[in-house]
Structure 1
Amino acid sequence: MFPHDPTKRQSLLQFAAALGVLLTGSHVSDTPALKQPFASSEKREKADPTLLHRFENLLLESWTLLNCNQFPLAERLLMSFLPSLLAFPVEEKMARLASIGLRLQSVLAHHRLDLSQKLTVCQQAVTFAQHGHDHTILAAALVELANAYEFHGDVAKSLLTLQEALTVAPHTTPLIQSRIYSNNAVLLAQTGRKREAEWYIQYAQEIFPDTPHQDPRSVFADSSVYTLAYHAGLVALALGKLHQVSDAFTLYQQRPAQGTMPERLRLEIWNGHSKAAIQMNELEHYAALLTDSLSSAQMLGSKKRYQEAVVIFQQELPSTWRKHALLREVAATYGLQRGTL
């Protein structure tokens, strides 16, 4: 598959560099790591199909770099062409690609904890998806917007957005349907709607395809068995089913192999395991998970995953555990203090 072909990857990077010169008058190396969407004010003629195909390849490569744990490269490549793509007149193909690119930009912004930008970009991704008249792309954009609302603390808007995603779910692929249902399950469980949560997480598992990579847009979907496992674990935790938590967080092990797990998803699951370890009074296990999560998040460059681990330490850790030598050592190493990030 071409995303892993070094020759084609180099060709794409060279094309991105040339595109930056031709359309924006600057070289990729001069482009800031992140720009606001719609940065180019000059509107151009409608993009021809060949150029849109090249944009699509660049988007595929950008998402692949994200999943290969190369955040800076993914963002650098994305922002070398996304402003130029957004400068073209809006038509269906362009709008679909723009939505996919903006959604990736929102994911990268979130890992930098730029939540304000994430929300804005997610809203724009939904708008472009609506112009693109593609149910699958719209559903994916709505799921990411729901995530943005949730992390802003607006659970009501998050649920409403997921309800909108549910209305288009029957017209999307099973891969996206599963993500919609599992996201709904988590929020429903956390808001006390137990029976609905159980139904949605069960259906999300049943509908998830055994061969998701056969979906031609699986890279763009940002839906995986690893995210499904994370959501299943969170639902079990929220419903107090501690005996099911371990199997839920590791359900990907019972599925056909689906490639290397992206580090951002592994750490997400690890932070879920940390919550479970606290509830099951497994101090030593929690200490090991916390150490791995903090050090790995730093190496990955994800402030989001680091913050998640710190918040669990601050808000969920039993006060008696703080005196334990293992956790005192971790706290001293990483400067963890209750109430601060």
Structure 2
Amino acid sequence: MEQHGLRYFPIGLFASVMGFAGVTIASRHLEELLNFPHYVSLVFLFFSTLLFLVNLAILSYRSIHFLQDVREDFNHPVKMNFFAAISISLLLLAESYYHYVPALSFVVWVVGAVLQLYLTLKVLSNLIWRQSFVIAQFNPAWFIPIVGNIVLPLAGVYHVGKDINWLFFSVGIVFSIIYLTIMMQRLFFDPSLPNPLMATLFILMAPPAVGFLSYMKLTGNLNVFAHILFGFAFFIFLLLLFNIKRFIVLPFFVSWWAFLFPTAALTIATIHMFVVTKSILYAWSLVFESAGLLFLIIVLSWKTVKLAVNKKLCVSQ
């Protein structure tokens, strides 16, 4: 019999915090580009913070009253990766906080960085020493703990020296290449991903898109490597857009929040490309991507609230 309640609150919902935090950064860049006041980005920042605190409070409640369930999530081949959405959310929030309260940004960034390092080491150690994982379980959600290392320099450049930022960036980029190789083998030669995980394919945009943003912050140069990162991210976007019919016919799952953060990351990257090159191609791409972000926020929020109202959000699986 299906049960529901906070005991079954999905850890994957932290991806919504990542998404809103990414949209916060994207909206601030758009406001700067259009010379608008930062009203919209502040609203998104407030809501992202509130959403993070609500998710964190529920996870704390589960950890106190249902610790075994949380441990099972942490050892699950899919759910374990979404714990890194917590550290990524902190790192993204730190980037936004810096423009208003630098001291708060530093504290949040340090907590996020320490947690990110721990989760990266823990997840990779589990993959090395546990024999229960098989290639058929590999899916784009496994990229989340790796992507966090690439996110870290976004605010890290404000708080620590470049050596630390380059260390995390290097880990994220190299492991993203390794993971991408495994992912392509999984997609090309094994059965398709199950429907609840289909939306996670959009996570494949995140490593090159965020990699581009962090690389630009670390170097300030739109060089060949930066072009490669952006070009690959944009191609993954086109590939997924070409197959959009396969996504829109699926029923809604919490994993759909995987659409939002990668799209926000690509939008921010496109803003940077337009600012540097002034190309009309990036201008039109930016219009389309911004509209897509607005659409995703509305649809994902509405469908999540609908699940919660119908008592289908926190259910036993």
**Aligned ranges 1:169-248 → 2 under 5 Å:** 169-170=123-124, 171=126, 173=138, 175-188=140-153, 190-191=156-157, 192=162, 193-208=165-180, 209-210=183-184, 211=186, 214=192, 216=194, 218-219=197-198, 224-240=203-219, 241-242=221-222, 243-248=224-229
- The runs of 5 or more residues in structure 2 that have no matched partner are 24-42, 63-68, 95-107, 128-137, 248-257, 300-317
> Which has the larger helix fraction?
2
- 1:119/1:137 Cα in 2 relative to 1: closer, same or farther (>3 Å)? farther
**Structure 1 unaligned blocks of 5 or more:** 1-47, 53-83, 304-341
Asked if the contact 2:15/2:82 (under 8 Å) is kept, the reply is no
**Segments ≥4 residues shifted beyond 6 Å:** none
Identity %, equivalent residues:
8
Residues of 1 paired with 2:198 and 2:123: CA distance?
18
Matches within 5 A, 1:61-210: 84-86=4-6, 90=7, 94=8, 98-100=9-11, 102-103=13-14, 106=17, 113=44, 114-124=47-57, 126-127=59-60, 128=62, 130-135=70-75, 136=77, 139-153=80-94, 154-170=108-124, 171=126, 173=138, 175-188=140-153, 190-191=156-157, 192=162, 193-208=165-180, 209-210=183-184
The 8 Å contact of residues 178 and 204 in structure 1, kept in 2 or not, is answered as yes
TM-score (norm 2): 0.53
Q: CA deviation at 1:146?
A: 1.7
TM-score by length of 1: 0.50
Q: Does structure 1 retain, via aligned residues, the 8 Å contact 2:14–2:85?
A: yes
Distance 2:178 2:201 in 1: 18
The reply on whether 1:277 has 2:274 as its aligned counterpart is: yes
Q: Report SS of the residue matched to 1:149.
A: helix
Between 1 and 2, higher relative CO (CA 8 Å, sep ≥ 6) is seen in 2
Q: Secondary structure at the match of 1:239?
A: helix
Q: Judge conservation of contact 1:162–1:180 (CA < 8 Å) in 2.
A: yes
What do you get for the CA RMSD once the two structures are aligned?
Answer: 4.0
